[in-house]
Chains A and B, each alone.
Chain A
Amino acid sequence: MQLATESKLFCGCSTEFGAAPNTQICPVCLGMPGALPVMNRKAFELSLRTAAAINCQLARFTKWDRKQYYYPDLPKGYQISQFDLPFSHDGWLEISDPKGKFEPKRVGIIRAHLEEDAGKSMHDERAGVADSQIDLNRTGTPLLEIVSQPDMRSPAEAKAFLSELKLLLTYLGVSDCNMQEGSLRVDGNINLHIDTPDGKVATPIVEIKNMNSFRAVERALAYEAERLYEVWQETGQKLGDVPKQTRGWDDAANVTRGQRHKEESSDYRYFPDPDLAPVTVTDAQVEQVLASLGELPATLRTRLETEFGLSPYDSDVLVNQGRALVDYFLHVASATGDGKLASNWLQQDVLRMLNERNWDIAAFPVTAPALVVLLKKVQAGELITSRAREVLQAMIDTGRSADEVMREKGIEQVDESELVALCQELVAANPKVAEDFKAGKMQAIGSLVGQAKKKNPNVNPGRVRELLIEALGKL
């Protein structure tokens, strides 16, 4: 995961995405002779926040190591990373599925460490071209590598883990998590544990790369599970019989494909980077980090459920929309004193609109207080829901307040005596309906309610029905 810092991990170059190739570089990230790295404090702080949020232990002493290999987009011939003493370890993230596809569980986190990114190689492999170009803008960008325990038992759990992690990172504001721009990259490891008459058998582990969306992760894992089973049936290969294989996901063809693997396993010759001092973290720093985390998704969901009586499903939908929408909800729910009402309006009207227009909640023209004014009228029985919806739509379209819209549309509360008169008039004018009603056909009232709405669109159909029954009963 790429950390949202302004500058790179060991130099002052910009990390902005999309600049012309090789324009965000300096002697340090180019790995020129004599250039030296200096750690970006901000990147380290963001990393601490992230690791704390996934319940990791924060090491009081951590160091930088060189991971050595040759590749043209790795100008120093090594990547500065963390090997045996990562800055954080042993955490967990809770996942659940509101539709109950799997039981809620904690997925363990083995470690999270910080490292610098490599550059980007672009290969033009058209016949007769064989041209490779290298863009080093990305070289030295801070990456946080998070390694989970093998605790997920299905592609759905893997997807839920990633979604929850991404949501958490978004809440923390530590990464933009843009998979298209490579800010979030995922490698998946999978094998099967098969029940046989001789006990459980584990298949060899496969690592899947090149998955560009969470949907792709789910599909790739599902495909690979099937494939592993078939391979096991054919070959009977168990864990340890063959080296770990790396396969790439082909999203268009919907299959994983074996990647050419090296004959010998790579030896990265890790050793402590002598150019960088080890980093020490004090207890006070850790406390500060923990205090700065704010309310995270899991806590927020619980609060919505206990304080506002929302169902797990509803709290999940709202929290998953991000902190800004949750804040919007909290305002509406508190001011109206009705969490469910607020949740319904947010999900059915606000969210629908946001999706339709591809808006952010920040761009939504109706502020939370403005929505509260409208909902209070509904609560007071001054407006029926369907009319209120019309009003909201107009508020969105014109940016005006509920009162202004209602005035323009001539929406006003109808006086009770006016309503009584209207109902008596309708009963008198429709003797057939009265007969049917007497004969026990309650549905006959429906046509009178319809006529009442036609005569005056502002009437409350519920109240009209009550008054009609009263008038008909007196006949």
Chain B
Amino acid sequence: MSLTELSAAELLQQLRSGEVSATDAAQACLARIDQVNERVNAMIRVDHAKVLADAGKVDEKRAAGKSIGALAGLPVVVKDLLCTQGEPTTCGSRMLRNFSPPYDATAVAKLRAADGVILGKANLDEFAMGGSTESSIFGPTRNPWDTTRVAGGSSGGSAAAIAASLAPLAIGTDTGGSIRQPAGLCGITGLKPTYGRISRYGLIAFASSLDQIGPMAHSAEDCALLLEVLAGHDPRDATSVDRPVPKYRELLNTSLKGLKLGVVKEHFGEGLNEEVAAAVEQAIDAYRSLGAEIRDVALPHGKYGVATYYVIAPSEASSNLARYDGVHYGYRADEGQLLAELDAERKQLLAAGNKRAAEHLDTALVRMYRKSRSEGFGPEVKRRIMLGTYALSAGYYDAYYVKALKVRRLIRQDFDRAFEQVDLIVGPVTPSTAFKIGEKTNDPLAMYREDLYTVTANLAGIAGIAFPCGQSKSGLPIGVQLQSPPFQEETLLRAAHQFQQATDWHQRRPKL
């Protein structure tokens, strides 16, 4: 059995016992990447020499009898939205294609401190904006279960890397479902922790009030391991929360007897694919037999989630992405060319007798901004920048942004009330299974509806987990989602783990 087929927990045991070295694990993953990445395009950057050097360092530490961190040389894939010092961090965008940050994200620094070996950077939707990992300049990530289909997004590279057994652990980020949705479509386990649980320092912002880093792996147990490493307060992130980090793995084995699971009727209404509905209902039955009580709960404002999200997220994005202006770093349009262009335009206008228009041509600086941003960003990023800029404009601010904030508060209140009655909420992750590559590229609204069941957790700042609970007739994974009140990750992980003890969906692997 190849090392890449092991779960993180299994591999960790072998690393700890010395059966396997960090170098062995890294080599196995690199070989697997060499073998299948071409077909899935999950990884966009793998530096073999560096990976082996890092793994070698962990082995040396062990050989020298030094204490080893919690990850003990486990290979980890990092979404290319997190800064890695001195190495390209691209966000899947032409804008940052040649950008190497001079610092590690806090989450990356914690990985390294725990002796995790960073295998490389995973593909993603450009600046994490999307639900299919198709908008990356590095091309689409393909679903390992059916390479004509998307892996979901925006953490599609991380999800596909796990599903394709390229690595046992991955880091993703979730702004509106970007961990849970690809986890669901790729048949893996992905956790979006509570807002503030993991530092955002060095996570390149899409929508600051919604972005959250989280673990992705085959099982809840593996996610618990990675969350223990990543979670905790960071003085460099004013929105990270200062509260103790539980030992999640130690809390996984408590029985679910008496756990109250809420079901939202609206989540099983129109728009939900029948096969998905059936699989999720089966999962609910499984919970019932594990001793959980199932109750109906209402989230009356949930139906406004997508609309609210697509005001708030683009508004913040339009501001967060203003810094990519070609001045200090990142992509800059060719200066000689833009000056020549301006000159030609001016001459043309003057020749046509349009002196006024000639006087109002862009200054060279403005043209540099305009061209750098036009050429540096892809269409979905531009669409969201325009949406957000519009929503924050004088005269529209109250009608869009302020109103969205009000609905956001109502959505949070819905959850607060629901969680007075139940411990967790259970439901689908996505309306359907993985769709065909290109199927929704020209229909942004259809793409946005992918987030229907996931965005509200981000708007409310609560935690959610997605994991496999079935397969469609065509063999595509189907996921189920659990949501919890803030800082109840241990309950989410426990409930997912108990399900995974009783089922084997999370152990199934695609044939590649």
Contact = CB atoms under 8 A, between A and B. Distances in A.
Nearest to A39: B238
Interface in B323-352: 323, 325, 327-329
Nearest to B321: A77
A271 B401 contact: yes
Interface string A52-74: 00000000000000101010100
Contact of B200 (A36, A68, A78): A36
A159 interface: no
A274 B239 CA distance: 8
Contacts of A100: none
B445 interface: no
A219 interface: no
Interface string A245-276: 00000000000000000000001011100111
A179 interface: no
The B contact surface, by secondary structure, is loop
Given A77-B322, A267-B394, A269-B393, A31 B328 contact: yes
Contacts of B394: 267, 269
Nearest to B91: A33
Q: Which of A33, A77, A271, A275 has the most CB of B within 10 A?
A: A33
A78 B328 contact: no
A34 interface: yes
B323 A75 contact: yes
Contacts of B96: 33
Contacts of A111: none
Contact of A30 (B208, B328, B401): B328
Contacts of A72: 327, 365
B43 interface: no
Contacts of A66: 319
Interface string A214-247: 0000000000000000000000000000000000
B319 A32 contact: no
A267 B83 CA distance: 32
A274 B397 CA distance: 16
B101 interface: yes
A31 B325 CA distance: 12
Interface string B298-327: 000000000000000001101100110101
Given A76-B322, A77-B322, A271-B401, A27 B208 contact: no
Nearest to B104: A34
B151 interface: no
B105 interface: yes
Contacts of B101: 27, 32-34
B208 A274 contact: yes
Contacts of A277: 238-239
B319 A77 contact: yes
A39 B235 CA distance: 10
B209 interface: yes
A38 interface: yes
Given A27-B101, A70-B369, A36 B204 contact: no
B154 interface: no
Contacts of B429: none
B238 A78 contact: no
A276 B236 CA distance: 11
Given A34-B83, A267-B393, A271-B392, A78 B235 contact: no
Nearest to A276: B238
Contacts of B133: none
A27 B82 contact: no
B208 A271 contact: no
Given A33-B204, A271-B397, A38 B325 contact: no
A277 B208 CA distance: 12
B202 A35 contact: yes
A32 B202 CA distance: 9
B68 to A, nearest CB: 28
Contacts of A75: 323, 327-328
Nearest to A66: B319
B481 interface: no
A270 B396 CA distance: 12
A274 B312 CA distance: 11
A76 B99 CA distance: 16
Contacts of A267: 393-394
B285 to A, nearest CB: 40
Contacts of B203: 34
B27 interface: no
Contacts of B208: 274-275
Interface in B165-216: 200-205, 207-209
A33 B323 contact: yes
Contacts of A269: 318-319, 389, 392-394, 397
A475 B444 CA distance: 122
A32 B369 contact: no
A86 interface: no
B83 A275 contact: no
A34 B82 contact: yes
Interface string A327-348: 0000000000000000000000
24 contacts: A33-B91, A33-B204, A34-B101, A34-B203, A34-B205, A35-B103, A35-B201, A35-B202, A36-B236, A38-B235, A38-B238, A39-B238, A70-B322, A76-B322, A77-B319, A77-B323, A77-B325, A269-B394, A269-B397, A270-B392, A271-B315, A271-B397, A274-B209, A275-B208
Given A33-B323, A34-B89, A269-B389, 11 more contacts: A30-B328, A31-B323, A34-B101, A36-B200, A36-B236, A38-B237, A70-B322, A75-B328, A77-B323, A271-B315, A274-B316
Interface of B: 82-83, 89, 91, 96, 99, 101-103, 105, 200-205, 207-209, 235-239, 315-316, 318-319, 322-323, 325, 327-329, 365, 369, 389, 392-394, 397, 401
Closest 7 CB pairs of A and B: A77-B322, A274-B209, A274-B208, A269-B392, A34-B202, A33-B204, A267-B394
